[in-house]
């Protein structure tokens, strides 16, 4: 055991002496180098939104209704981003969005980007605004000022019962 301790102490002493021997003798002037760096991290968020409100309307079977809302996006640096919209609470997918009444009735609707519903949210003009599971995903790049992105809602009235219908859609931004 003493031999092991002696060997270990000798190795540590040799390491210390070697470290001192490597110290630079500058002769009065020494130099070294160091790095200066910064990691700039992009951050985007929704800073506002307006609902897509179809309003209060009398039922005319076959009538098409349009309504508009918006999302406002701000980022801390110029960066490309994408916005997806989920199916909402009552739909089975982005191609089957539905508003529900308290009585369990449904009215189908769809969401698009742009004022006319034909503005492409990717290369597919007129495709429903969706997410990674389907539809198209809105893409743009942030240029320094908050951006308002229009949401176009459209539905065709079938034969619903009177009542208040609503849905909640979740928007997700990735950058």
Residue 24 included in any domain: no
Phi-psi region of 173 (alpha: psi -120 to 50; beta: other; left: phi over 0): beta
Specify whether the CB–CB gap between 81 and 141 falls below 8 A: yes
| pLDDT for the residue numbered 13 | 46
| pLDDT for the residue numbered 116 | 57
Low-confidence ranges of the chain (pLDDT < 50): 2-13, 16-21, 118, 120, 122-123
Residue 134 included in any domain: yes
Specify whether the CB–CB gap between 72 and 49 falls below 8 A: yes
The whole domain housing 133 covers: 46-174
Residue 6 included in any domain: no
Residue 3 included in any domain: no
Residue 79 included in any domain: yes
| pLDDT for the residue numbered 27 | 82
| pLDDT for the residue numbered 121 | 59
Query: Structure pTM?
Result: 0.74
| pLDDT for the residue numbered 4 | 44
Residue 60 included in any domain: yes
- DSSP, residue by residue, 76-112: SS--EEEEEE---SS-SBTTBEEEE-TTS-EEEEEEE
The domain that contains 63 carries what CATH number?
Answer: 2.60.40.1090
């Amino acid at each position: 055991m003493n031999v092991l301790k002696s060997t270990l102490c000798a190795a540590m002493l040799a390491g210390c002496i070697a470290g001192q021997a490597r110290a630079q003798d500058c002769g009065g002037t020494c130099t070294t180098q160091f790095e200066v760096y910064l990691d700039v991290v992009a951050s985007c968020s929704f800073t506002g939104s307006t609902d897509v409100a179809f309003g209060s309307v009398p039922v005319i079977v076959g009538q098409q209704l349009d309504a508009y809302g918006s999302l406002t996006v701000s980022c801390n640096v110029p960066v490309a981003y994408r916005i997806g919209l989920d199916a909402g609470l009552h739909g089975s997918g982005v191609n089957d969005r539905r508003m529900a009444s308290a009585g369990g009735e449904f009215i189908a609707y769809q969401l698009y980007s742009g004022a006319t519903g034909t503005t492409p949210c990717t290369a597919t003009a007129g495709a429903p605004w969706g997410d990674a599971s389907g539809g198209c995903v809105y893409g743009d790049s942030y240029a320094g000022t908050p951006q308002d992105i229009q949401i176009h809602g459209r539905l065709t009235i079938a034969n619903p019962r009177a009542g208040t219908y609503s849905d909640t859609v979740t928007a997700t931004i990735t950058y």
